[in-house]
Amino acid sequence: AQSVSQHNHHVILSEAASLELGCNYSYGGTVNLFWYVQYPGQHLQLLLKYFSGDPLVKGIKGFEAEFIKSKFSFNLRKPSVQWSDTAEYFCAFAGSGTYKYIFGTGTRLKVLA
Amino acid sequence: EAGVTQFPSHSVIEKGQTVTLRCDPISGHDNLYWYRRVMGKEIKFLLHFVKESKQDESGMPNNRFLAERTGGTYSTLKVQPAELEDSGVYFCASSPTGTGAWGEQFFGPGTRLTVL
């Protein structure tokens, strides 16, 4: 079955702490991978995406993610979080040649000032 | 450039009633998608339009749901009759033509539907 597992449902960090959110996908082919973020009261917006090439992808606001094909993982990282990173983060993939996104359940991050 | 808009932002209806949700994609985007998030669960794909044609409706839960995209512009999603399990947030997204499956989908703010 096609699915995404986000291991942490709620994460609380202090400002300046490092962040790593886990994401594993289940799919029997090539994938395009995404991290989306939803800030309070705002739309879902794209943080970063991976299609091919360098497995370490850099996104907006200092976020990066690493695609490890052998582990079916696409973990999101940020070396030092800010209060403004408080949001819900969604990992998703689309099978190559398909348009529909398969999302994980999301991780709510709260950063304490 | 205006983003994806959805109307209404909230809707509260009784079980058995009908509700119609509307999505206006970004101008010029031929691809339009509907997704739904039931509370606490993942965001699930419902269907994909290319212009006015349904490209993939594999995620539509049952025949109480009807999506249309007349003229290839805005889209509506009708639920008739609504059931309790239809409660959730309905998201619409759009993407430009030619970007393929690797293109970013731009999401609207969602419509929160509550069925009592």
pLDDT mean over B106-115: 96
Q: What is the pLDDT of residue B101?
A: 62
pLDDT in tens, B80-92: 999 999 999 999 9
CA distance B14 to chain A (A): 26
CA distances from B41 to A102, B37, B74, B100 (A): 12, 6, 27, 27
Range with lowest mean pLDDT among A36-40, B50-54, B64-68, B94-98: B94-98
Residues of chain A with Cβ-Cβ distance to B95 below 8 Å are 99
Q: Name the residue among A32, A102, A105 with its Cβ closest to that of B102.
A: A32
pLDDT mean over B65-82: 95
Asked if the model's pLDDT at residue B48 lies above 70, the reply is: yes
Amino acid of residue B84: L
Contact: A104, B42; criterion CB under 8 Å: yes
How remote is the C-alpha of B104 from its chain's centroid? 17
One digit per residue, the tens of pLDDT, for chain A of length 113 reads 889 999 889 999 999 999 999 999 999 888 999 999 999 999 999 999 998 899 999 999 999 999 999 999 999 999 999 999 999 999 999 988 788 999 999 999 999 99
Question: CA nearest B58 in A: which residue?
Answer: A100
pLDDT in tens, B18-27: 999 999 999 9
Q: Name the residue among B42, B56, B104 with its Cβ closest to that of A100.
A: B56
Q: What is the pLDDT of residue B102?
A: 66
Asked if the model's pLDDT at residue B1 lies above 70, the reply is: no
How does the average pLDDT of chain B come out, rounded? 93
SS3 A13: strand
Q: What is the pLDDT of residue A98?
A: 83
| pLDDT-derived band at B100, boundaries 50, 70, 90 | low
Number of other residues whose CB lies within 10 A of the CB of residue A108: 14
DSSP β-ladder status, B10-13 and B111-115: parallel
pLDDT mean over B101-113: 89
Dmax of chain A from CA atoms? 43
